[in-house]
A and B are shown apart, each in its own frame.
Chain A
Amino acid sequence: MNVSLFITCLGDIFYPNVGKSVVEVLERLGCEVDFPYSQTCCGQPAYNSGYHGETREAARRMINTFENSSYVVGPSGSCVAMFSEYEELFHNEPEMQRKARSLKERSYEFTQFLVDVLNVTNVGASFNATATYHKSCHMTRLLGVNDAPEALLSEVDGLSYRKLPNCENCCGFGGTFSVKMEAISKEMVDEKINNIQSTGADLLIGADSGCLMNIGGRINRLQKPVKVMHIAEVLTQREVK
């Protein structure tokens, strides 16, 4: 199966290890992974700030980049969900709308692809940790990916999983919200961190780089003893017990 990796800009610049892990897991499961180099950013930062015109050109680029891919897989639900907004951006260009719809139909968030397309929940990972999982809002609500991450984590050997209280609440990232409304954002992320710590977990797992950058950045600032990892990084672990 041929898969085009949609790395996302955060993944490209800040979290290359996440991308490497995605490649490793996909290849282990027999996928052929390619990386179209002309990809940049999905346009979400501009779009969610109200700059829809500026987003359109980023969208056009992404649509063309992945035009010939049979599957597009990205390690961030929020960015993959952004593809769903493209169609509306091109309301004056029916051909682009068609292409946008096609891109949406071929695109999957990483865990969604594993569970729904490859029908795999056990990827043979083992990792000794007590972990909790942060449900990202866009991934669950906009993309509808609800159970895939937990299904995958439940099969990781050695991983003790703790449910996160109030997991439905946003971590306070929200793109430019995090810098425009930093006072509110801080309270949101602090509550999230308190909830994480209340589980006794020493590892926070997420599936969206934006959320992880926010929560991880705050954890680092507060020097809390909680490690932060992307789910792809967890799924490549082969710790011997």
Chain B
Amino acid sequence: MPMRIGADPFKDRVEKGLNDAFMRNSVRSAQERLYGKRLDAAEELGSWEDWRNLGEEIRSHTLENLDYYLYELSEKMEENGGHVYFAKTAEDANHYIQEVVKRKNGKKIIKSKSMVTEEISMNEALESLGCEVIESDLGEYILQIDDHDPPSHIVVPALHKNKSQIRDVFKEKLGYLNTDKPEELTLFAREKLREEFLSADIGITGCNFAVAESGTITLVTNEGNARLATTLPQTQITVMGMERIVPTWEELDVMISLLSRSAVGQKLTTYVTALTGPKATLEGDGPEEFHLVIVDNGRSNMIGTKFQEALHCIRCAACINVCPVYRHVGGHGYGSIYPGPIGAVISPLLGGYEEYGELPFASTLCAACTDACPVKIPLHELLNKHRKKMIEGKGLTAEKIAMRGFQYGTTLPILYQVGTKLAPFLSLPFQTNGFLTKGPGPLKAWTTIRDMPAPNNERFRDWFQKRQKEDLGE
């Protein structure tokens, strides 16, 4: 699945989301649950602001020295007996992965959850070789079985589906016979997937954080699927976005503590698995061959720009879980596998304004995201920077002319005086009971859903001036 999901234009996607009552209900309840859990986890820890400051410090130091740490990581990885491939583009990455799979004569591939492999359309590349690629994260598995329904959240990918929809999918595609109880559905998936794990040739994982000092990759899960995917198949391929790295184990601790708390409100997720190279010769399980694919795919365009901080993201989805726009539109509305505030920041950077230009405007800049971010990415400011960049790239538009007008209106007192003084009279035809219920221009969009107070005949400044004169007169 590529980064782009669905071919519909933005407005249609939004409308579809707004009309999907079930999806909105489940997003609402998920947001509320995760909001509470995250706050509890932060509060229980105490000095949460110190933790965030530390997280920010570590991320900015790491990104400022990214080339150095990637070098160190690859050196260590080689020492440990692993292979490292630096992929500039999605095609590079897929090509290398295809070559490894062909050489190992891989037929069945089991995956644990990975956003970057979605971003580069890796599954399709492997399926084109005739391989069977099986997603093992429960949410991803459900989506895959349901004819590749796209994910709508980066941590809870099937958030938009309800249990009876899931039961129907299992029934239709896999012959499931039980009820829609989550316990029964989960047990069924466990048994199905256990068979797949045991017979898979190759395990493919993402990477939450690589540790440069020891050449380690770490995987953070609750289900244990990443452990299975790295324990049973003989070959392991790990695909990581190039920014997902920390200098040493000490920083790993901090980042994982922040991630677990921010993503799911846990002190630690059930499993944190740290893999350092292939298994030792005498070990009875673990991969014999280990490949790490480090992916750029547009990320380096952010380096050295005002958007570099977007690379600090640790994919916890805390911003998504507090976003009031995501709450109503849902993940698919964003048209990208990266939804919500962070998605609205990075999708245009990775995929361009042509495809994702609307996203930075789909925000009230309420800053809930910025407040929630465990590494203090100023998300709402970055959204505004996108707006600025897009506007500077455009020629003279009606809006630009209006904004010039605004500039003159606010800087030339005489214009402000006349404009605001005239407003009550100009709006007179549209007034009912002190409110405007329809009107031209922006007023039209405003009044499609709400009324507008009518401009007052006496502005505050007129009142104040009059009062001052009266005072002086006394």
Within the complex, are A and B direct neighbours (CB within 8 Å)? yes
Measured between beta carbons, the chain B residues less than 8 angstroms from A55 are 407
The answer to whether B364 and A172 have CB atoms under 8 Å apart is yes
- The answer to whether B452 touches A61, judged by C-beta atoms less than 8 angstroms apart, is no
Q: Are B407 and A57 in contact (CB under 8 A)?
A: yes
Stretch at the interface among A44-52, A113-121, A125-133, A152-160: A44-52
Is A214 touching B450 in the complex (CB atoms < 8 A)? Answer: yes
B423 partner, pick from A13, A184, A188, A189, beta carbons under 8 A: A13
Q: CB distance A11 to B362 under 8 Å?
A: no
List of A residues within 8 angstroms of B384 by Cβ = 47-48, 50
- Docked Cα-Cα span, A99 to B400, in Å, equals 28
A residues engaging B (CB < 8 A)?
5, 7, 9, 11-16, 19-20, 23, 35, 37-38, 40-41, 43, 45-52, 54-55, 57-58, 60-61, 137-138, 141-142, 166, 168-170, 172-189, 191, 213-214, 216-218, 220-221
Query: In the complex, what distance in Å separates the CA atom of A215 from the CA atom of B416?
Result: 26
Kindly state the separation between the CA atoms of A11 and B15 in the bound complex, as whole angstroms: 34
**In angstroms, how far is the closest chain A Cβ from the Cβ of B282?**
55
B322 x A168 contact (CB < 8 A): yes
Q: Can you name the residue of chain A whose Cβ is closest to the Cβ of B362? A: A181
- Residues of chain B within 8 A (CB-CB) of A188 are 324-325, 327-328, 364
- B411 lies within 8 A of chain A by Cβ: yes
Task: List residues of chain A with CB within 8 A of the CB of B416.
Answer: 40-41
Q: A183-B15, A217-B450 are in contact. Are A174 and B365 (CB under 8 A)?
A: yes
Determine the distance from Cα of A176 to Cα of B404 in the docked complex, in whole angstroms: 15
Is the pair B411, A58 in contact by a Cβ cutoff of 8 Å? yes
Contact check, A37 vs B325: say whether CB atoms are below 8 A apart.
no
Contacts known (A137-B367, A186-B449); A20 close to B460, Cβ less than 8 A: yes
> In the bound complex, do residue A170 and residue B366 qualify as a contact, i.e. CB atoms below 8 Å apart?
yes
Q: Establish whether residues B459 and A13, one from each chain, have CB atoms under 8 Å apart when the complex forms.
A: yes
Apart from A35-B464, A51-B391, what are 9 other A-B pairs with CB-CB below 8 Å? A16-B463, A20-B463, A35-B461, A40-B413, A54-B407, A170-B368, A174-B365, A174-B366, A188-B327
Look across to chain B and name the residue whose beta carbon is closest to the beta carbon of A56.
B407
A169 contact from B14, B327, B445, Cβ within 8 A: B327
Which B residues lie within 8 Å of A14 (CB)?
453-456
A28 CB → nearest B CB, Å: 15
A172 touches B446 (CB 8 A): no
23 chain-A/chain-B pairs, Cβ below 8 angstroms: A37-B461, A40-B411, A49-B403, A50-B387, A51-B403, A57-B410, A141-B368, A169-B324, A169-B368, A170-B324, A172-B324, A178-B445, A179-B442, A180-B445, A182-B449, A184-B325, A184-B329, A184-B362, A188-B328, A188-B364, A213-B452, A216-B453, A221-B451
